[in-house]
Amino acid sequence: MSDPTPETPPAPPLRPGFTERKPLPKRFYKEAAAAPGEGGLFRIELDGRPVRTPGRNLVAVASATLAEALAQEWRAQADFIDPMAMPMTRLANSAIDGVAPAMAEVGDEIVRYAGSDLLCYRVDTPAQLVALHAELWDPLLEWARGRFGATFMLSEGVVHVAQPPRTLELIAAALPDDPLRMAALNLMTTLSGSALLALAVAHGRLSPEEAWRAAHADEEVQEHLWGIDGEALERRVTRYRDFEAAARFFTLLAD
């Protein structure tokens, strides 16, 4: 007899040569709720049955508030289940299936971003961008120095500058030790291009909106000087939804 436990459907992939996605699965449940599980964890239940990841692992988190947020994503589904409209559920699946067995590798990826962090690469023109970089980025480098003891070297243009080994060691030591927080931090890092921005959000130094603006200072000035690229803006808005969801995911884990 097959296991009746419901699984989170994976995000529908694009077929080679096509732009449309595979049909979404129909909603098969009436109720979605967070419920106490084993070991002080909280799980997600659909009609009383616990949800599992695509890798068949139980979806269970240490925060009742986060579990309720995940359940709300399931409740918000209409006639069909759209994983792309469930960013925190996708992040939980990624943390449990992918990050948990590869914590060291994911941590190394974040440290690599810190080694060529967006905030360290400056320009000498136009003047508006030089000023905006200084306004948005310089205080964060000072914050990193005070918070972690990490000193970052700056470069002009795209010429790579190697960061001090001690700086990277300090960033590595600041990374979370659980897969859920690590997954959220990694997603914020890759979406923003900056480990420092991700850490600033995780530690409450920046709001998601402030971090996203800092990550797109170049685009802000370009749009001011030459106008808005509608397609680029749409892509940025879509990516921000995942960034904000990762930030909220990280915050809810503390509740």
Model confidence over 156-198: pLDDT tens digits? 888 899 999 999 999 999 999 999 999 999 999 999 999 999 9
- Looking at residue 15, what is its pLDDT? 40
- Looking at residue 10, what is its pLDDT? 66
Q: Which residues of 145-177 are buried (b: 16+ CB within 10 A; e: fewer)?
A: eeebebebeeeeeeeeeebeeebbebbeebbbe
Q: Which CATH architecture has domain 1-85?
A: 2-Layer Sandwich (3.30)
Model confidence over 83-108: pLDDT tens digits? 999 999 999 999 999 999 999 999 99
pTM attached to this predicted model: 0.90
Do 182 and 175 form a contact (C-beta atoms < 8 A)? yes
What's the CATH superfamily of 101-252?
A: ATP12 ATPase (1.10.3580.10)
- Looking at residue 231, what is its pLDDT? 86
CA-to-CA separations, 46 to 69, 96, 253, in angstroms, rounded: 14, 19, 22
Q: Give the chain's radius of gyration (CA, Å).
A: 20
In whole angstroms, give the CA distance from residue 148 to residue 231: 38
Domain ranges for the chain: 1-85, 101-252
Q: Which residues of the chain have pLDDT under 50?
A: 1-3, 13-19
